[in-house]
Structure 1
Amino acid sequence: MGPICIKDTGKYGRGLYATRDIKKDELIEVSPVIVLPKEDWGHLEKTSLLYYSFYWGEDDTAIALGLGSLYNHSYTPNINYENNIENLSIDFYALHDISMGEQLTINYNGDLEDKSPLWFDVIE
């Protein structure tokens, strides 16, 4: 079993939580992706999958499989992610030490410093 599990947050639906202490820079999850070329963007926009997509390269989009699409948003995340183009995956790493039971979050804007508004009201 990996260091994460799915739980109901009670407020934001499902979320991912640490099942043990996780060390800074530890690789937490490698989520394989399905890459959608920019030509598919118009179709994706008409589906709820849009809200689970990641930027992939300059023009494409990716849908993370595994647990990758279940991380909730935070402007002060404890997880960062990198697109692994060669491996066709999104790799999730701990930004700092994380305690067992803590919810794992990413910044949906992709950049840790980006506090741009999202498509939903952010409550932190």
Structure 2
Amino acid sequence: MIAPCLYIAETGKMGKGVFTSAPITAGSVIEIAPVIVMPPKDRVLLDQTLLHDYIFEWGEEGTQCAMALGWIPIYNHAYRSNCEYEMDYATTSIQIRTVRAIEAGEELFINYGGSWDSDRPVWFEVL
């Protein structure tokens, strides 16, 4: 499920991003996407490719990885994001929910560090 008001557009500085054409209220689920779960041995291989930037740690121990389908790989990162993601291990899916009201035309961000307000440095800033 992808909310009908979402669209993908160029951001100007971060490539493509996910935007909304209509206001969205805080706490709204805007996307639920299935994931492809892979074992640790595949994670080692994926870490050597561009897909490393698009996979999520997966499972209670974080030893597996998952590739989200839908538009989830297109959301850009912000430390104070306006959306958060939640992993559902039972249904092998990830959902995106707004953490505040969103204006029409606004880009939607998730925090790659996990929590919407995490200040933990992400991999591409510590290289």
TM-score normalised by structure 2 residue count: 0.89
In structure 1, stretches of 5+ residues that fail to align are none
Cα deviations by residue, 1:4-38 (Å, 9 ceiling, x for unpaired):
10000011000000121111111100111000111
Q: Distance in 1 between matches of 2:118 and 2:24?
A: 25
Partner of 1:49 in structure 2?
51
Q: Which moved more, 1:75-84 or 1:113-122?
A: 113-122
Q: Distance in 2 between matches of 1:93 and 1:120?
A: 24
Partner of 1:21 in structure 2?
23
Give 1:111 shift.
2.2
Q: Distance in 1 between matches of 2:122 and 2:24?
A: 28
RMSD: 1.5
| Structure 1 runs, 4 residues or longer, greater than 3 Å off | none
Contact 2:40-2:65 at 8 Å conserved across structures: yes
Matching of residues 1-80 of structure 1 within 5 Å:
2-57=4-59, 58=61, 59-80=63-84
One of 98, 111, 121 as aligned partner of 2:115: 111
In structure 2, stretches of 5+ residues that fail to align are none
AA aligned to 2:77 is H
Cα deviations by residue, 1:53-107 (Å, 9 ceiling, x for unpaired):
1121121111111101110000010001100122211000010110111000000
Q: Distance in 2 between matches of 1:62 and 1:71?
A: 16
Aligned length: 122
AA aligned to 1:72 is N
Q: Distance in 1 between matches of 2:65 and 2:5?
A: 27
AA aligned to 2:91 is N
Give 1:112 shift.
2.8
Q: Distance in 2 between matches of 1:101 and 1:78?
A: 13
Asked if residue 85 in structure 1 is aligned to residue 89 in structure 2, the reply is yes
TM-score normalised by structure 1 residue count: 0.91
Secondary structure in 1 matching 2:33: strand
AA aligned to 2:105 is G
